[in-house]
Structure 1
Amino acid sequence: MSRRTVALREVGQIVGGGTPSTNHPEYFGNDYPWITPRDLSRQGTRFVEAGERGISQAGLAASSAKLLPAGTVVISSRAPIGLTALASVPVTTNQGCRSFVPGNDADSLFMYYLLGSLSDEFERRANGSTFKEISGSALGAFEIDLPDLVEQKAIAMALGALDDKIESNRRTMGILEKLGAALIEQAFTLDPFGNPEYDDSRRLGDVLSLLETGSRPKGGLQEGVEGVVSLGAQHVQSAGVCARTDFGHVPHEFAESMTRGRLEEGDVLIYKDGGKPGNFIPHVSAFGYGFPVDRAVINEHVYRARAGQGVSQGLLYWLLRSPWMDLEMRKRGTGVAIPSLNSTNVRNLPTPAGLSSKASGLSEKLEPMLAALLRLGTENRRLANIRDALLPELLSGRIGVSQAGEAFS
């Protein structure tokens, strides 16, 4: 494997971005995607094709934004530094991004993985008094060890195959989420505002067999403690999806002594409190089939819920994620200094009329779908762990692609 040390500017172009004047609404539109660090922070895949906003041809001409070709690696240069995405279509960016346009000697997917692995180093080289930023010149002068193009493509293909499977699983999970939501929506008669008729005699608490939070040791979690994973509100996203993997741990002895908050297979998890004052944003997830870990407890900021009365965990999950239940939780959780959904609020959530007669049929369909979401989430975690273990070894040349295949075959 031949490698050479080169500066980034020797194998591609470093291009900055810009923002059209907001005094001209006509500068914004749908002619070109306009990518910002905020957009990169919300990326769920390697590829970016659109931002929250776009700019018009006039906006492009009247600003320092540049039209970048597909295959460009977009890098956030401030707040935060080092987020990366690969443009799948021509895009523009604001000044919070620097972009690397690969030349003939650089493979775009390989450079995506390489530059993404350097975020900590970019952060260290950033400067600025008001906020830290890595300049285009500093980025261009950054030296890398670049393998030949054949090896670049082989490395990109190996890592890309893992990410292809992860992204395929995510698409399947998205379909399952939408299908579950559609089954709930079709089961009940909705008014013009999308809300069902509620059963005034039956609240969510009437169909719950358990609702409890967990706890942490006095003084909270401590760094370096080995034990049982403790899940907090930041880990509650959706079934099979957990963006935060910085799990804290409680000692084994503490976990064994907990009288509440020890998770069981199929538990539905509900975000209890946190966020900005006056803005409670509900999140509902689930635990099981190895997701997000094999064994865990929860802290005092998360509820675990189990259903009874013929309602399955799958039905409970999609009921809580329905638009009308989301709205009800927002109303009950907002209006306090620390946005919070207390247990009375949860138990008093309304249930749709006709739930009892439809629970069995819905449960039969939704329970295996929840299990599938959790299994896919577990598989994605395993694939991501393999990718993250391989990435520095392949990029550094410590192992070759053929050796990587043997190690994980």
Structure 2
Amino acid sequence: MSHVLEPVLGGTPARACAGYWDDGDQLWISARDITSAPSRVIVDTTEKITSAAVSETKARPLPVGSVILTARGTVGEVGRLARPASFNQSCYGFRPDALSPGLLYFSVLRATERAKAVAHGSVFDTITMATFDHLDLAWEPTRAADAESRIAPLLDAISAAVEENRTLAATRDALLPQLMSGKLRVRDAEAAASAVL
């Protein structure tokens, strides 16, 4: 795998620079975002950075379909991007260049599981590209196109379900306090929900 995948290291914009963090709207991933991502699909992050942080620091976003792997601290968690996102330096990012998005995701996931098994159940401190030197790809190149054509619709359906759940939760969170306080009636809530969806 290390001959095929090219890792991208993330970065953390200077915390002291308010212009990198205040009112940011660009996704910035840390390990906790990956461990809490539903179905390993990253659609939002706890912290966000500004466009200035993206353009002036190492926190460059990767495109949709990229895979993020935690390499230090919380080691071996894998997530896939449903939206472009930057990430911190405790993670590796992999673009879907040499491998299509589905194959990339499952290849990194399988390699990480294999790396944990090779470690005989012990906790290892860091994942490096050397970790992948003796791990094979999950797919033979001759069957990659066929495999991706079967995997992509399933992963797309999972991503769509995660996005829909997020929208429904936001609608619930907006309407429930108003319903509980009596400021909004069920009939009004139904009309508001219909307008959102």
1:98 equivalent in alignment to 2:87: no
Q: Scaled by the length of structure 1, what TM-score is found?
A: 0.36
| Residue 32 (1) aligns with residue 26 (2) | yes
Task: Identify if the C-alpha distance between structure 1 residues 173 and 19 changes in structure 2 by more than 3 Å, giving closer, same or farther.
Answer: closer
Shift of 1:47: 3.4
Residues 5 and 94, structure 2, Cα contact 8 Å, conserved in 1: yes
Partner residue in 2 for 1:72: 66
Q: Deviations over 1:229-260 (max 9, x none)?
A: xxxxxxxxxxxxxxxxxxxxxxxxxxxxxxxx
The alignment status of 1:156 with 2:148, answered yes or no, reads: yes
Q: Residues 123 and 19 of structure 1: is their aligned pair in 2 closer, same or farther, counting only changes over 3 Å?
A: farther
1:165–1:13 distance in 2 versus 1, CA, 3 Å: closer
Query: C-alpha displacement at 1:103, in angstroms?
Result: 2.7
* 2:10 maps to 1:17: yes
Looking at structure 2, the residues matched to 49 and 166 of structure 1 have their Cα atoms a distance apart, in angstroms, of 12
The verdict on how the C-alpha distance between 1:172 and 1:52 changes in structure 2, with shifts beyond 3 A counting, is closer
Q: In the superposition, relative to structure 1, how do residues 71 and 166 fare at CA in structure 2: closer, same or farther (>3 Å)?
A: closer
Letter in 1 for 2:64: A
Cα distance in 2 for partners of 1:184, 1:17 equals: 39
> In the TM superposition, what whole-angstrom CA distance separates every residue of 1:334-393 from its partner, at most 9, and x where no partner exists?
xxxxxxxxxxxxxxxxxxxxxxxxxxxxxxxxxxxxxxxxxxxxxxxxxxxxxxxxxxxx
Deviation at 1:33, TM superposition (A): 1.7
**Residues 179/45 of structure 1: CA separation in 2 closer, same or farther (3 Å cut):** same
The 3 A distance-change label for structure 1 pair 189 and 65 is closer
Query: Which structure has the bigger radius of gyration?
Result: 1
Query: By how many angstroms is 1:65 displaced?
Result: 3.0
- What SS does the corresponding residue of 1:120 show, helix, strand or coil? helix
More strand per residue: 1
Q: What letter corresponds to residue 144 of structure 2 in structure 1?
A: Q
Partner of residue 115, structure 1 = 108
Q: Decide whether aligned partners of structure 1 residues 23 and 155 sit closer, same or farther in structure 2, where only a CA change above 3 A counts.
A: same
Q: Deviations over 1:105-139 (max 9, x none)?
A: x112111022112333334678xxxx71112x325
The aligned residue for residue 48 of structure 2 is 54
Supply the distance in 1 between the matched residues of 2:131 and 2:88 (Cα, whole angstroms). Answer: 17
Query: Which one has a larger percent helix, Structure 1 or Structure 2?
Result: 2
CA distance in 2, matches of 1:31, 1:185: 27
AA of the residue aligned to 1:116? L
Task: Give the letter for the 1:23 counterpart.
Answer: A
Alpha carbons of structure 1 residues 81 and 125: separation in structure 2 relative to 1, 3 Å: farther
In structure 2, do the counterparts of structure 1 residues 12 and 117 end up closer, same or farther at CA, with 3 Å as the change threshold?
A: closer
The aligned amino acid for 1:154 is: D
Greater relative contact order (Cα 8 A, min sep 6): structure 1 or 2?
Answer: 2
Could you say what the CA RMSD is over the residues aligned between the two structures, in angstroms? 3.8
Amino acid of the structure 1 residue aligned with 2:135 = E
% same residue: 21
* Cα contact 2:12–2:59 (8 A) shared by 1: yes
Deviations 1:181-238 (A, max 9, x none): 958953x5447xx9xxxxxxxxxxxxxxxxxxxxxxxxxxxxxxxxxxxxxxxxxxxx
Q: Name the counterpart of 1:359.
A: none
SS at match of 1:143: coil
Query: 1:44 is matched by which residue type in structure 2?
Result: P
Q: Which residue of 1 aligns with 2:135?
A: 143
TM, length-normalised to structure 2: 0.68
